[in-house]
Structure 1
Amino acid sequence: MIDKYFLLFYRVETPLHMGSDTEIGVVDMPIQREKVTGFPKLEASGIKGSIRKIFEREDKDLTNAIFGPEVDGSEYSSCISFTDGKILLFPVKSVQGIFKWITCPLVLNRFIKDYNLFLERNEEINIVGENQYYSQNKIEDTVDVILEDFKFNLKRIKKLQVLDEIISNIKKDKNVPGYLKDKIVNEEIIILSDDEFKFFTEMYTEINTRIKIGIDGIVEKGALFTEEYLPMETIMYGFVSVGKFMMTEREKNTKKEKEYLCEKMKKKLENKKLVVNEFNYIKEILNEKKYVQLGGNKTLGKGITQLILGGE
C-alpha cells in the first residue's frame, strides 16, 4: 500500500520553545531554525513524540501499533510519519488591529510545492509577489500598514488560492476561536519580501530572561539565562503520512494481532460511519484531541498548540 498524506497546521496557543540546545550568542537557548533560510521550524521527532502521548491516552496497544514499540524500536517500525513543521504565518504587532499575520513569496511558494508533492495536486507555483496584502472582505486597492516600527504600502490581492485553502481550513475548525476566524477573514494577511519576512522572524520572537533562586531566596550566581519562544498565534504546517501496521517481523502473530487491533478500532469508531483503517483512525483521534503540548517548559504552560487538519 502507498502511504496516504494529510496536511496538518500547528497554531501556537501559548509561547513555544522547541530548543536547539545552548549557543554562544545573544540568546542562550534559541529556538530551532532551518540552517539555510534561518526560518523557525519544529523538528518532526519532537512533534511525533508529543502527539504519541495523545494516542496513549486513548489506547496503549493501538499506540504501539501506530508509532512503533516504545521499548524495543527494532522490533518493527511505526506506520505514521511526520515532516518538520515549517513556518507559514508569523504574527507581528500592528497599530491597526493589534497584530497582523505576515508571510512571504518564498514561504507561500514552498507551501504550494509541498502541497503538490504530498497531496498530489497541481497548483501553480511562483505566482506570489511581495509587498501585497490579502483580504476576502476589504476593498481598498492600496493600504498603509505599520508593523512594529515600520510602515509598508501594500497592494491588494483579490484572490490567491493558496491563502483561500489556509483560511478555509481555519474557518471550518470548530475549535478555532470565533474572533480569530473573523480576524483572518476580515483583516489582511500581509506578504512582505523574503528578506523582510526573515528580519521579522529573527528579531521579533519572544525573548524571556530566566533566573534560578537558591534556598536562601537569593538569585544564584551565574544562573541567569535567556530563552527564545515562537509567539502566540504563529501558524506552522507539516504533513503526516500513514501506511499499514508494520508488524511484519512477528509473522505468526501478525494476522491475529491485526484482527485484534482492527476490532479495537471498530469499537472506537462505531456509530461514526467510517471505514476502519489506520488512516481514518488517526485522523479521527486528531479531530477529537485538538491540542498538544510541544517543546520545553511544559510545567510553565508553554507550548500549548492547536492542531488543525487540512486537506488530503
Structure 2
Amino acid sequence: MYKTSEPLFLFCETPLHAGSGNDLGIIDMPIQRERHTGFPKIESSSLKGSLREAFERKATTPDAQEQIHRVFGFDYASADKSLTTGNGAFANKKDQDFSGCIAFTDARILLFPVKSHTGVFAWITCPRVVSRFISEMIEYCKLSDNELATLQANTTGSDSKVYKNGSVGLEEYIFEGITKEQKVTDFGTWIAKKLFPNNNYWSTKLKTDIVVLPDDDFADFVQHSTEVITRTKIDNETGTVLDTALFTEEYLPAESLMYSIVMFAPEFKLNGMPEDKVQKFYTDMLPEIFQIGGNATLGKGIVRTKPKKQA
C-alpha cells in the first residue's frame, strides 16, 4: 500500500503536552506514553490532526485546499463550500468516501534533555532507542546500513562538554565509567544536518552533548524528569482558588527531540496522484514550525520540523 517513506523530526521549541486524559495517579493530566516501555510518545492521530490543521492554515488557494482533502482524506467539517456544492470536487457523496494516501507512525522519543553539572544540559538516549531508530530508518527510509552505527551505553561524544574526569553529572546523579566515542559524535552530526544546518550553536551542542545511558537509567529519567506544573483557577469575586480547580499537568521538556515515519501511497481515486507527487505536496506544504498537543493559548507544544529557511 505505502510505497515511499521519510522521517519527520519534531524538535520541541516549548514544553509539549500531548495528553492521555485524566489519571488517578500523582499527576492529574499525564502525557502519552508507550505501554510497554513507559517512554513518551505522541499518538499518530494527534500528530496527523495537528499537521492537517497546519496545512489547512497554510493553504491559500482552492486547489491547495482540495489537495489536502485528497491527501489526508475528506473532512466535511473543514471543507470549503466551493468543494462540496455545484461542480466542486466533492459535491457528490460518492466522491467523499475514500481513504487518505498519507500515514504517520506514533512519534517516539529520540533525545531527552536533562540538566547537567557542566554545559547547562545534555541530551540523553539509550541503546534501545537508538537501535530502534536506526532499524526504522533502514527499513522504511532507505538509510544505508553503514550510515549510522548502534551506540553503546555509558558513552558520550568525542568532544563532549558535559564529560569530566571519566564521568557525567546529570540532575543529582554522577554516572561513572563514561567513555568518549566518535560514533556518538557522528550520530549527533547526522541529526544536526537534518535539523540545524544553519545554526552553529545547536549543531555544535548536538555533536558534543549527547550521552548514551543504559536502558534502565534512560527509562527512569523520561519517567521522572518531565516537567510537572500545578495549575489553578481564581474566583474573580473572592480572589481565591476555586474549589476543585487545582490540578497538575505533565509536559515533555523543551529541546526534546522526537521522530515519526511518514508514509506515502498513490491516491485512491481513479487517475489520482502517484506517491511521488503526494510526497512532494507534503514536503512543499510542511511548515517549519507548528503546534501540537494541548494548551496552545499558553504557548505550549511549538515544534520545529525542518531547518529554518535562509534569507
TM band (smaller chain): 0.7 to 0.9
- TM-score relative to the length of structure 1: 0.82
Q: 1:210 to 1:141 in 2, by over 3 A?
A: closer
Identity %: 38
Tell me the matched-pair count: 280
Deviation at 1:164, TM superposition (A): 4.2
Which of 211, 227, 245 pairs up with 1:206? Answer: 227
Which of 162, 183, 190 pairs up with 1:159? Answer: 183
Q: Could you say which residue in structure 2 is the equivalent of 1:307? A: 305
Distance 1:88 1:235 in 2: 6
Q: Which AA in structure 2 matches 1:91?
A: P
User: How far does the alpha carbon of each residue in 1:215-271 deviate from its partner, in whole angstroms, 9 at most, with x for none?
Assistant: 3132111111000000000000111011222224xxxxxx5xx5xx89xxxxxxxxx
Q: Could you say which residue in structure 2 is the equivalent of 1:30? A: 30
Q: Could you say which residue in structure 2 is the equivalent of 1:66? A: 71
| Structure 2 residue ranges without an equivalent (≥5) | 77-92
Which of 297, 304, 308 pairs up with 2:295? Answer: 297
- Secondary structure, counterpart of 2:305 in structure 1: strand
Distance 1:235 1:298 in 2: 19
Q: Which AA in structure 1 matches 2:51?
A: I
Contact 1:142/1:155 (<8 A) preserved: no
Q: 1:79 to 1:146 in 2, by over 3 A?
A: same
Contact 2:188/2:206 (<8 A) preserved: no
Q: Could you say which residue in structure 2 is the equivalent of 1:150? A: 173
Contact 1:141/1:156 (<8 A) preserved: no
Q: Could you say which residue in structure 1 is the equivalent of 2:88? A: none
Deviation at 1:121, TM superposition (A): 4.0
Distance 1:189 1:92 in 2: 10
Q: Could you say which residue in structure 2 is the equivalent of 1:103? A: 125
User: How far does the alpha carbon of each residue in 1:149-178 deviate from its partner, in whole angstroms, 9 at most, with x for none?
Assistant: 011231011225544432331342x4xx44
The alignment yields a C-alpha RMSD, in angstroms, of: 2.6
Which of 164, 184, 194 pairs up with 1:169? Answer: 194
Matching of residue 6 in structure 1 with residue 15 in structure 2: no
Contact 1:10/1:237 (<8 A) preserved: yes
Q: Which AA in structure 2 matches 1:200?
A: F
Q: Could you say which residue in structure 1 is the equivalent of 2:153? A: 130
Contact 1:6/1:119 (<8 A) preserved: yes
Q: Could you say which residue in structure 2 is the equivalent of 1:266? A: none
Which of 230, 239, 243 pairs up with 1:221? Answer: 243
Deviation at 1:141, TM superposition (A): 10
Moved more, 111-120 or 76-85: 111-120
User: How far does the alpha carbon of each residue in 1:20-79 deviate from its partner, in whole angstroms, 9 at most, with x for none?
Assistant: 111111100000000000000011111101111222121311111111111289701111
Q: Which AA in structure 2 matches 1:170?
A: L
Deviation at 1:142, TM superposition (A): 6.1
Q: 1:69 to 1:200 in 2, by over 3 A?
A: same
Q: Which AA in structure 1 matches 2:257?
A: I
Q: Could you say which residue in structure 2 is the equivalent of 1:283? A: 283
- TM-score relative to the length of structure 2: 0.82
Deviation at 1:136, TM superposition (A): 5.8
Q: 1:126 to 1:162 in 2, by over 3 A?
A: closer
- Secondary structure, counterpart of 2:113 in structure 1: strand
Q: Which AA in structure 1 matches 2:225?
A: Y
| Structure 1 residue ranges without an equivalent (≥5) | 249-254, 263-274
Distance 1:200 1:166 in 2: 22
